[in-house]
Every structure is written in structure tokens, then in C-alpha cells.
């Protein structure tokens, strides 16, 4: 990927990491990658929050990346792979960037430092140091309700001005005014992707370049239709497409993610187990029943449409 002219827009999937009996489930991972390689996605994120990246050791993460890249190559699909990274020690993250340099990834999604709550200047220096440590594209992940600190627009735009390979942001700031201001002020070459599933249509309608959407695991074509219709200038069609999927984020985030998504994928036969790693736990019986009712409803609607 050319770091000066990448396409970071569109619909990106933060892929779940399948486990079975405490280990990485390689067969299910291959099946997932094959499945999504055939869907209208614009990129995959590995080992991020939805992928339970904080529970993966280094060897598992390397294996995850290698298997996903190999499966995509076997499918003949050139789908960008970004690796999720997070941490509060700039030096350790810089070492991680050097260590993963030989890995078959196209870029990185790097979260703001968590828990330590650095100043805006501290975050500017943090990301500048990381950008200097790799030639690959970087997307910043701004999610203050997880990290405890909000990267403001002034600091973000300073990073973008200083670092030519910081090319996008996964925006989960939860402040509509901040997001809309960023869309007004950002350079045209910088991509804003919403990370809030329930805001996918509203943010694209405001001018965001795309989204990193966990709910797209279960309806990739539905979310892609919103993207395509807005790009085509069909606002009414895009809104209708959005109404066909807008209940999914409520359902799939009714309990901590990625448990609901994994339950759906398991019941759909895409992964062999809905297993998670502590401290994440399986969905409740009540939510499992709701998910399965929605799956049945969608399957019946698809049959009726095909009839």
C-alpha cells in the first residue's frame, strides 16, 4: 500500500478472533477469512478490541496475522489488513512496530494511551514517535470512554500535519460536535472512519469516509449497501438500507462485545465455538434467545425475498 495514496475509506471489519479449548482456532479463522473475502468489505482489522487483542500473546498474534494473510492470498482477494496495537508506553509500542515490520500487514490501528491520561502534547509526541517508527500507514483509535483520555481535534490535526503516514482515525469520541468539526477541518487526504456501529449512516451522511463496524460481521452486504448508496448520491435509498440493519448494533452491543457477535457467528456455523477469554464472558441466555430469534427472522425474510 502506498502510504501517500491509500484508500482507508469504506466498510472495514474488526475481525473477531476465534478460540477453542483455550487456543487460537485456526480452522475457524480460515473459514472466517474466506467468508469475508467474498463480501463487499474494504479492509480487515486484526487483534483489535473486537478481536480480543489484549488477550493474545505475541506468538498467537503473529500466527493470526500469518493465517489471515495466507488465506486472503489463497482467495485471490487483495483486502488490506491492519493490526491493532495499544499500550501506554511509547517505547514498547515503537519496539512492537519494529518487531512486526516483517509481518504481512498493510498498516496499524493504534489506540490512544490508556489509563495514564496523558496531556494533548503528550499524545502528539506519542503518535509522532510511533509514526517515525514505521513507514506503514497508521490509523489512530480515539475512544476516550475506554482509554480515559480524548484526543482533541487540534492535537489530532497537529499529528496529521507532522506525520505523513498518519492517514486516518477510528472516531469513537462520542461527541458529535467534535466529530463534525473534525470533518470540516481535516485535510481531504485524511480519512475519518466511525467506530460506533449505530452512527454508521449518520456519520457517512455528514461526510465521514467510512466505518470500522463490528456489526458488519452478521450483515456485511447490508452495511455495504448504505456505503454504496450514499456514494451514489441516493440519500433515500441509503436511509432505507440503513433501516434494514440499524437494529443490529443495539442487539450486538446489548452485552459486552464481542460476545454477542461470536454467539451469532457460532450459531451461523462460521466459527466452531463462541468461546471468549476472561474477563469476557458468554452472552446471557436471554440475549442468546434474542439473537437466535433475529437470525431466524432474517433467514425467513431472505427465503421470502428469494421466492
Residue 36 known to be catalytic: no
Rounded-to-integer distance, Cα 261 and Cα 41, Å: 17
Query: Which grid cell sits at 50?
Result: 473486537
Q: With beta carbons less than 8 A apart as the criterion, state whether 155 and 169 touch.
A: no
> Would you say 249 and 198 are in contact if contact means Cβ atoms under 8 Å apart?
yes
Q: How many CA atoms lie within 13 A of 272 on its CB side?
A: 13
Active-site residue, 170 included: yes
Nearest to 260 by CA among 293, 224, 284: 284
Residue 134 marked in a binding site: no
Beta bridge partners of 111: 141
CA distances from 280 to 49, 81, 176, 192, 268 (A): 11, 25, 29, 29, 21
The response to whether 212 counts as a known ligand-binding position is yes
Unique residue bearing C-alpha cell 498493510? 106
Whole-number Å distance between alpha carbons of 283 and 258: 9
> Per the residue annotation, which of 108, 141, 186, 262 is the catalytic one?
141
296: enclosing H helix or E strand = helix 285-306
Nearest Cα to 112, choosing from 55, 166, 66, 72? 166
User: What's the CA gap between 257 and 209, in Å, rounded?
Assistant: 24
Q: Answer positive or negative: Cα dihedral of 114, 256, 220, 59.
A: positive
Closest CA to 35 of 55, 15, 63, 6: 15
- Among residues 36, 108, 170, 186, which one is catalytic? 170
Indicate the annotated binding residues for pyruvate: 50, 212
Catalytic residues: 141, 170
Indicate the annotated binding residues: 50, 212
Amino acid at each position: 500500500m502506498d502510504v501517500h495514496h491509500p484508500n482507508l475509506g469504506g466498510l472495514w471489519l474488526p475481525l473477531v478472533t476465534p478460540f477453542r479449548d483455550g487456543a487460537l482456532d485456526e480452522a475457524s479463522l480460515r473459514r472466517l477469512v474466506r467468508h469475508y473475502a467474498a463480501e463487499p468489505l474494504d479492509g480487515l482489522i486484526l487483534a483489535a478490541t473486537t478481536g480480543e487483542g489484549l488477550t493474545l500473546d505475541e506468538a498467537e498474534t503473529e500466527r493470526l496475522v500469518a493465517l489471515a494473510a495466507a488465506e486472503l492470498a489463497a482467495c485471490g482477494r487483495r483486502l488490506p489488513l491492519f493490526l491493532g496495537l495499544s499500550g501506554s508506553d511509547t517505547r514498547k509500542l515503537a519496539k512492537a512496530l519494529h518487531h512486526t515490520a516483517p509481518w504481512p500487514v498493510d498498516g496499524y490501528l493504534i489506540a490512544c494511551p490508556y489509563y495514564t491520561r496523558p496531556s494533548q502534547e503528550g499524545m502528539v509526541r506519542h503518535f509522532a514517535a510511533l509514526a517515525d517508527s514505521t513507514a506503514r500507514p497508521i490509523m489512530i483509535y480515539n475512544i476516550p470512554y475506554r482509554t480515559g483520555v480524548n484526543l482533541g481535534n487540534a492535537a489530532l490535526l497537529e499529528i496529521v500535519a507532522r506525520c505523513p503516514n498518519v492517514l486516518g482515525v477510528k472516531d469513537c469520541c462520542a461527541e458529535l460536535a467534535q466529530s463534525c468539526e473534525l470533518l470540516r477541518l481535516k485535510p481531504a487526504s485524511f480519512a475519518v472512519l466511525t467506530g460506533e456501529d449505530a452512527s454508521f449512516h449518520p456519520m457517512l451522511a455528514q461526510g465521514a469516509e467510512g466505518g470500522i463496524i463490528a456489526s458488519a460481521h452478521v450483515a456485511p452486504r447490508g452495511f455495504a449497501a448504505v456505503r454504496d448508496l450514499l456514494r451514489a448520491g441516493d440519500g433515500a435509498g441509503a436511509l432505507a438500507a440503513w433501516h434494514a440493519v440499524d437494529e443490529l448494533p443495539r442487539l450486538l452491543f446489548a452485552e459486552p462485545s464481542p460476545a454477542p457477535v461470536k454467539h451469532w457467528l457460532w450459531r451461523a456455523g462460521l466459527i466452531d465455538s463462541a468461546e471468549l477469554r476472561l474477563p469476557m464472558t458468554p452472552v446471557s441466555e436471554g440475549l442468546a434467545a434474542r439473537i437466535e430469534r433475529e437470525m431466524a427472522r432474517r433467514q425467513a425474510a431472505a427465503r421470502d425475498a428469494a421466492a
